[in-house]
Chain A
Amino acid sequence: MSLFTPNGLLGSSSLDKPTEPVPEAPPLFTLNGYLGPLSASALGSSKPAEPPSFTLNGHLGPLSASSGSSKPLESPAAPSFTLDGPSSSLAGPSKQFTPNGLLSDPQTDVRPTFTFTPNGLLGSQDDDDDDLPTVAEAFGIPTTLPARAESAQTTPEYAPRFSVRATTFDGKTMYLKRKPKVSHLNRTKAPLGNFKERMGNLLDVPIHRLMEGLSVDTANKLQEADRQAAASASAPEESPEDTLWVDRYRPRQFTDLMGNERVARETMEWVKQWDWCVFGKTKGKKRPRDDDEAFDAADEYHRPREKLLLLSGPPGLGKTTLAHVVARQAGYEVMEINASDARSGSVIDDRIRPALESGCAVGSTKPVLLIIDEIDGATGAGENACRPGKGRDPNAKRPILRPIICICNDQNAASLVKLRAHSLQIRFARPADIHTVKRLREVCEIEGLKADSRALTTLVGIARGDLRGCLNTLQFIKSRSQEVTEAVIRGATVGMKEAETSLVSVLNSLFTPLTRKRVKELALTEADEKMYVGRLSREVDGCGRENSIAVGCFAHYPTLHQHDANFSRYEKANEWLVTFDMLSASMYSNGGDFALNQYLPYTLVPFYPLFKERGGQRVERSQADWESLVRTRANEEIYKSLSRCLQTASTRRGGDFRHLVSTPILQLEFAPYINRIISPPLRPVNSQVIKPEERAVLTRLVDIMSTLELQFYQERAEDGQLTYRLDPAIDVFVTYDGKRTADIAVSRYAVRHLVAGEIEAQLISRKVDIVERAKRGKHDFFGKPAAKNQDQEPFSSPTKAAEGDAPGPPNKRVRTEAAVVDIADKPPTDFFGRLITGTSLSTTKAAERKNVEKKYRVTYRFKEGNSAAVRKPIKMQAFM
């Protein structure tokens, strides 16, 4: 007994450094065999999660009794107790353990988990020991290790033998003293004498400090209780404005969700479909039915077919709340990114992708569910950045294994185009007003607002079902009065969002007066209703697309069936449109004078007094203007290519036609007449048998067309008929309302075919000319037409080559010259109704070429390395 002299160092030093008890611990702990709980507390302090305070160690029989333990006191030991733990241990060099005041202190105040855990010393039953969660057990040391009471009383030298080596999560090694199992026998003669010494060891904080701390704690507790009491008592009066009502009455559970039950259920269903993937097989649906559409049978992860959920709907209906509630209910950790976060690629890389791939957020065990809020606000880079996160990116092959919910207001937003195909879209609709009103009334009751339901209905009407807006308005009203009446509502909602400001809705409100219902909803008086300017201009301004609205007005007003005998209203309307145009034009030209922007809406408002019409047809978006714009663009392109042709031609000709290119002349004079010039009434005969005067016309035509690089291209129409298309398609300029002018003869297929062939020939001969000129024109051989024909073939363009190849069958038949002549007069089908397009000139030419090849067979051999050679252009003739 006396072996254990209290040296005072032990307890304090071991507890002074609770975080690193490891090296010193074994020798210290060996001192008393009973310090299982102590060591546990030392360990516990390294695990901050469970700081045990007031751990009673085994010697406190009387104490346990005093604190209401049902165990009978067996040992006559003096009541002693050890309060160990990080903050408190009872000082005790005193040999006599008189119960001090601490005992009476309600230990229940302190963590109840570790208080009064009686260890084996007290209890008569062995299983008392087992109740105690010793550290050794916690670390998985076999309980069968020999533990004797003797060992407890052995000298420190023995101690290491009974200590157990364990490794913490940090990798530190620690030695644990095994708590001995105490038998009944030696429990009675338990080392009571040790008490005094051990008590001394355990103290590290002086008792007065402990007392102080306790009293402070108590005081705090009391204060807290007071405060709570006060708060709960005065909740209606002054809980105020530290939280928004919106937050206070936010639904917390799935059952709290209001309205839109179908939507909520659908969302939940979708999230639940992920269970198989996220939580494993066991937790998921029993078995995805084969006919279940939502499941993708091919998917090894059994995910729903749409990997994304897109919630869309007007603001304030609780989309975000729904997503959060559902996610929480389904057991997910929510990870949210919204418009206030940077949605760049780096964010996706840094935060979202790791979370999605590892499946849970940092420091959480729950699987993560990603909510991308306000996704329609993502533009440009953000939109692109979102995409890899969706896991469909081909270079990010890893499949997406966690549900993603996207939330937006406008499901047709441009930035969502790519997402829409892959997402299940759930549209939020405005819940029935009656639900909203009911919820509002509940809120009013709780908050002590006296609200009549008419006023609330008005409020909901004005807000268009936006519950958030309603709550905010109510809270705002509350700050001034306790009464909610219609008048108050009207006063509070001035300037609240009045309408969705889509283009069509703005147009409709410009052309139709307010409906009675809407007037009532907005709670407008008669006088208010008449003051339309402010309302409409705000609406137009809110839409922000004045130009489109103007076009819409322009398109719509003549369709109205109002009698307007002398066009006075039309005149006025047009005047306003013109004013609008002048303003907007001067806004955009000259560097932009956007100060005018604020006046633009007012130039459109006059359509209301001029044309408002109850029950008129709804405004449809007119496509006429857009179509005309598209056509203009297309025609401008044609003009551009025509002028390019003209320019190249004029460059070649010394700049002679350059004046034709200038703007009005090209359109007004050149375009109509060039069409007439290039469509002479030619007879479709073969160029060989043509009359001389026609020949002249043809030559000239070909000359003009080849200079201007106008060409006929063969094309197959939808019905399989071959046609020749003019390129650039300048014939659109003589085509108005889809009809060509009568004075230009429709050029027939055969004629065009003939001309096309000639142009081809001309272009080729020109090329040859250039080549010739490069050779300084020594040989005049190529000037001969026959030779030209033979030489043309290799150069001929792919269209011509294709032409020659395409019509296989009639080749033999048309070998003769006579057949060729016949064909020119025919439509492009032969006797059997087959197309015989390529059979004329080119085929014969091809045939001719074959003959030519037979006659002169020339072989070349290239001798590499013969560097002494002189390069010189030379004619094939020289080799013959």
Chain B
Amino acid sequence: MSFWWSAHKNASGARCRPRALDDLHYHPSLSARLKSLAASGDFPHTYALLRTIRHWEEDTVTCTLRQLFGPGVEKVKIDQCVFLSPLKRKIEVNIVQSNFHIEITPSEAGNYDRVMIQELLKEIAQTQQVDLNAKQRFKVVIINEADSLSRDAQAALRRTMETDMSNMRIILCANSTSWLIAPIKSRCLLLRVAAPSDTEMQTVLTRVARRTCFDLPPEAAQEIIKDSGGNLRKAILVLEALKMQSPDLSGPLTIAKPDWETYCQKVAVLVVTKQTPARVMEIRTKFYELLSHCIPPTVILKAGLTVAEGIVSQVDKTLKAEIMHWAALYLCAEVRMRIGSKKIYHLETWVVKVMSLYKQSFYQFDISKFE
């Protein structure tokens, strides 16, 4: 089995995911660049900056690794690693590693990512590559979700990156660099992996379809691509879901949005249509529902914002300035939400703010003057 996306084998035994840089069907220039870097033997620290969540960076990274070390990197094993937090709490994290690289996701350790970074990296940095046949003398550490690293963890990373350069290279994968501290940025080579273009995505999708022995109608592909917004992983998952739901992929396609997204949209509509305390309560229960489904609050906020923005701009074209204001609010709320622990407060704050703004602009004057 497997998902087409990550998939390995399907009925015909073909491979869908790219394995070498040459197989990457998109970003040819990036591939070329990485290839030359890997060949130079002096691979720098890298961070792959990836625009938003929609990307495909894992493949870029894995292909680069393959270029560096050969097929040995594909023999990975997943280990569970236990750390002791300063308060003697046990933290379990999963580590993917091969002989040549190790892949960690520090956000699994929550607040204790600093401990994880320190312990793991020190250990790796201080051991030399034992495999004499290895192409490179260093190991590569891939840090996923580097933008969720806490400040402490990033600080812990700084010195290690410099001193143990001989044994280790680090690849940070992040969606944005804004949460990376400047010292780290300056130590890294920045690679930006852009979202694939529509044509690139179409190539990939048709390829996937061909490998799984069916024909993807181009209009369906277009539909999927439009919906995915440049997120190739999502596009392929959608394709697979569609294929399962209606095997022939014919007729009018209705691409299902993820349920949480639909729900967020409902919430946004609620915000805009009526502004009363009762509505605030209603929206609150919806937020609770979303949060209990483990949807990250920033995502909720953002989805809500997008929809609300859309509605408002439809209703009133003159509200562009207000929309900017909301965006600012969103940013403000997001930053606070990262710090705070009780997400529901922040969400509701945002809702109340928006309601109040909306009311004011709707009545075209500032009510507060009358109070």
Chain A residues proximal to chain B, CB less than 8 Å: 550-551, 554, 558-560, 564-568, 570-571, 574-575, 577-578, 580-582, 584-586, 588-591, 624-625, 627-628, 631-632, 635-636, 639, 647, 650-651, 653-665, 667-673, 676-681, 693, 696-697, 700-701, 703-704, 706-707, 732-737, 741, 743-745
Contacts and interface: CB of A to CB of B under 8 A. Distances in A.
Contacts of B280: 558, 570
A700 B359 CA distance: 52
A149 B7 CA distance: 127
Contact of B247 (A657, A693, A704): A693
Given A564-B277, A655-B96, A667-B294, A570 B345 contact: no
B105 A567 contact: no
9 contacts: A559-B281, A564-B277, A565-B367, A581-B342, A581-B345, A647-B78, A650-B78, A673-B241, A700-B1
Contacts of B14: none
A168 B336 CA distance: 86
Given A650-B78, A741-B256, A635 B294 contact: yes
Given A564-B277, A574-B345, A736 B258 contact: no
Given A558-B284, A669-B237, A676 B256 contact: yes
B349 A575 contact: yes
A651 B259 CA distance: 29
B330 interface: no
Nearest to B262: A741
A632 B278 CA distance: 24
B352 A736 contact: no
Nearest to A740: B259
Contacts of B299: 664, 668
Interface string B353-368: 1011001100000111
A478 to B, nearest CB: 50
Interface of A is mostly: helix
Given A655-B76, A743-B256, A578 B3 contact: no
B295 A581 contact: no
B41 interface: no
Contacts of A628: 288-289, 291-292, 344
A672 B260 contact: yes
A703 B1 contact: yes
Residue among A570, A667, A733 with max Cβ neighbours from chain B (10 Å): A570
Contacts, number: 230
B342 A550 contact: yes
A676 B245 contact: yes
Contacts of A672: 256, 258-260
B277 A581 contact: no
A590 B352 CA distance: 30
A567 B293 contact: no
Interface string B272-314: 0001011011001110111111111001000000000000000
Given A559-B281, A582-B340, A651-B77, A574 B349 contact: yes
Interface in B81-111: 86, 94, 96, 103, 105, 107-108, 111
Contact of B349 (A577, A589, A657, A732): A577
Given A558-B284, A664-B53, A680 B245 contact: yes
Contacts of A559: 277, 281
A317 to B, nearest CB: 39
Nearest to A587: B341
B356 A568 contact: yes
Contacts of A670: 237
B371 interface: yes
Interface in B205-231: 231
A775 B333 CA distance: 61
Nearest to B76: A655
A570 B294 contact: no
A734 B349 CA distance: 27
A734 B259 CA distance: 6
A581 B359 contact: no
Interface string B1-38: 11101111000000001000000000000000000000
B244 A701 contact: yes
Contacts of B293: 635, 667, 732-733, 736
A741 B288 CA distance: 18
In which size bucket is the chain B interface? 35 or more
Closest 3 CB pairs of A and B: A703-B1, A672-B258, A676-B241
A47 B2 CA distance: 98
B119 interface: no
B244 A662 contact: no
A741 B293 CA distance: 14
Interface in B56-80: 58, 74-78
A637 to B, nearest CB: 10
B192 interface: no
B185 interface: no
Given A567-B275, A656-B8, A657-B3, A697 B247 contact: yes
A639 B260 CA distance: 15
Contacts of A658: 76, 78, 96, 103
A656 B6 contact: yes
Interface in B119-145: 144-145
B233 interface: yes
A581 B144 contact: no
Contacts of A732: 293
Nearest to A742: B256
B15 to A, nearest CB: 10
B240 interface: yes
Contacts of A678: 244
B356 A570 contact: yes
A120 B115 CA distance: 99
A580 B111 CA distance: 20
Contacts of A575: 349
A667 to B, nearest CB: 5
A577 B296 CA distance: 20
B50 interface: no
A557 to B, nearest CB: 9
Given A631-B292, A673-B238, A733-B293, 11 more contacts: A566-B367, A567-B352, A577-B342, A591-B86, A665-B53, A669-B237, A677-B240, A681-B246, A696-B247, A704-B1, A736-B290
Given A559-B281, A568-B371, A624-B285, A585 B341 contact: yes
B321 interface: no
A667 B238 CA distance: 15
Contacts of A704: 1-3
Nearest to B58: A659
Contact of A697 (B78, B244, B258, B339): B244
Given A559-B281, A577-B345, A667-B296, A677 B241 contact: yes
Contact of B353 (A571, A635, A733, A736): A571
Contact of A581 (B6, B346, B352, B366): B346
B174 to A, nearest CB: 12
Contacts of B244: 676-680, 697, 700-701
Contacts of A578: 336, 340, 345-346, 349
A566 B336 contact: no
Contacts of A741: 256, 259, 262
Given A673-B237, A707-B1, A567 B359 contact: yes
Contacts of B352: 567, 570-571, 574
B51 interface: no
Contacts of A696: 247
